[in-house]
């Protein structure tokens, strides 16, 4: 990507009056390969002095939600606003001071060198940079990362980190639906669309300083994140998603029925397992129907891709002022 591009640093914030000013002030305004740096704060219905302090700290633009709508919606709104501002690269960074704004030049470097369309900060890529955090939180992060790697065939080390850089093309192609979080969904979404994704190791704080959190408890976040991952895999890998479930049910019923048939041949009776026969029939029928559903969902997936391409072209035209 040639020099002379615009970088928009997006900061979603909800009641972050204690930290947002220092985050904004640390954002580098001169970056090699970038002609202009602007700061966009997405206020997600804050009830404290977040907006006031963001303005005083030098934010170039503030977009506010009337009520708290959740991090996923805040990120989506912010990404669209960054495109309206003419962003060639959008960097998303938290408002709580967990990430170092001075790492932004390192984060966008692969995009400037046309090696990547998305660059995500990794807290676990280098052992020496791993932050201190509760065991359960680290375990959850690594578990979700392994699940996403398993389903996508990738080799990420951190799929939960929100400190990321997006090229204009990646921002235009992103389609998000989750309300409470987006980090896993956007990676899967853009990966399925052929976007090049690269990880950069950064030193971050293991504990947040600000007040806003996606949910109050780690298990609440885990449940919601798991639902988002399952929905995303359902939408982008429908044949594998429904097909694997259908095949499992079909084989479970089929193997059980075979065992009962063998027992019938050997001892000439099924009792006291007559009820298993009915269960096997249900499993086999459900498995067959689920595999049929997988084929139908796969056909619908082609229509989704056509619709997303149409949406991409409309977004691109709007962003270019056409």
* Residue range 189-240, pLDDT digits in tens: 899 899 999 999 998 876 555 444 444 555 666 676 677 777 777 887 889 8
Is pLDDT above 70 for 1? no
Q: What's residue 181's pLDDT?
A: 74
Closest to 85 measured CA to CA, from 9, 199, 151, 161: 9
Q: What's residue 219's pLDDT?
A: 63
Q: Of 30-39, 63-72, 103-112, 148-157, which gets the smallest average pLDDT?
A: 148-157
Structure tokens at 66: 């009337």
Q: Of 25-34, 177-186, 242-251, 285-294, which gets the smallest average pLDDT?
A: 177-186
Measured CA to CA, the distance from residue 117 to residue 321 in angstroms comes to 23
Instruction: Give the model's confidence band at 180: pLDDT under 50 very low, under 70 low, under 90 confident, else very high.
Output: low
Measured CA to CA, the distance from residue 32 to residue 21 in angstroms comes to 24
Q: What is each CA distance from 27 to 15, 32, 61, 164, 307, in whole angstroms? A: 20, 14, 14, 14, 37
Instruction: Provide the Cα torsion 88, 111, 160, 171; round to 10°.
Output: 30
Going by the DSSP 8-state scheme, the letter that residue 12 receives in this structure is E
Q: Which CATH class is domain 5-236?
A: alpha beta
Strands 164-167 and 89-92: antiparallel
Q: What's residue 210's pLDDT?
A: 46
Measured CA to CA, the distance from residue 62 to residue 56 in angstroms comes to 12
**pTM of the model as a whole:** 0.78
Closest to 208 measured CA to CA, from 218, 199, 200: 218
Measured CA to CA, the distance from residue 220 to residue 211 in angstroms comes to 17
Average pLDDT over residues 257-270: 90
Percent of the chain exceeding pLDDT 70 equals: 92
Measured CA to CA, the distance from residue 311 to residue 291 in angstroms comes to 30
> How many Cβ atoms sit within 10 Å of the Cβ of residue 4?
10
Instruction: Give the model's confidence band at 253: pLDDT under 50 very low, under 70 low, under 90 confident, else very high.
Output: very high
Q: What's residue 221's pLDDT?
A: 62
Is pLDDT above 50 for 111? yes
Q: What's residue 18's pLDDT?
A: 94
pLDDT digits (tens, 9 = 90+) for 121-179: 999 988 888 888 777 778 888 888 888 888 788 899 998 899 999 999 999 999 887 77
Which residues are bridge partners to 199 per DSSP? Answer: 120
Q: What's residue 88's pLDDT?
A: 96
Closest to 173 measured CA to CA, from 247, 261, 90: 90
Are 287 and 293 a contacting pair, CB within 8 Å? no
């Amino acid at each position: 990507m040639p020099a002379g591009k615009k970088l928009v640093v997006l900061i979603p914030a909800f009641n972050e009056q204690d930290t947002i000013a220092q985050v904004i002030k640390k954002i580098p305004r001169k970056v090699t390969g970038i002609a202009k740096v602007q700061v966009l704060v997405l206020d997600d219905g804050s009830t404290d002095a977040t907006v006031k302090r963001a303005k005083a700290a030098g934010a170039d633009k503030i977009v506010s939600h009337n009520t708290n709508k959740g991090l996923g919606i805040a990120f989506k709104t912010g990404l669209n606003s960054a495109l309206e501002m003419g962003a060639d690269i959008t960097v998303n960074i938290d408002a709580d001071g967990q990430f170092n704004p001075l790492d932004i030049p390192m984060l966008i470097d692969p995009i400037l060198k046309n090696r990547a369309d998305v660059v995500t900060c990794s807290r676990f890529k280098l052992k020496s940079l791993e932050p201190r955090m509760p065991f359960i939180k680290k375990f959850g992060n690594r578990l979700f990362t392994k699940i996403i790697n398993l389903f996508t065939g990738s080799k990420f080390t951190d799929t939960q980190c929100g400190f990321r850089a997006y090229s204009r093309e990646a921002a235009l192609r992103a389609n998000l639906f989750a309300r409470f979080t987006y980090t896993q969904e956007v990676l899967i979404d853009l990966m399925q669309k052929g976007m090049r994704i690269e990880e950069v190791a950064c030193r971050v704080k293991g504990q947040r300083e600000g007040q806003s959190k996606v949910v109050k408890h780690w298990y609440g976040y885990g449940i919601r994140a798991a639902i988002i991952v399952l929905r995303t895999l359902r939408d982008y890998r429908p044949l594998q998603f429904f097909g694997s479930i259908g095949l499992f049910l079909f084989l479970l019923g089929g193997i059980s029925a075979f065992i009962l048939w063998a027992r019938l041949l050997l001892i000439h009776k099924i009792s006291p397992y007559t009820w298993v026969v009915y269960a096997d029939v249900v499993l086999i029928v459900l498995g067959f129907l689920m595999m049929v559903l997988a084929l139908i969902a796969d056909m619908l997936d082609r229509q989704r891709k056509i619709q997303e391409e149409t949406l991409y072209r409309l977004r691109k035209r709007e962003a270019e002022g056409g």
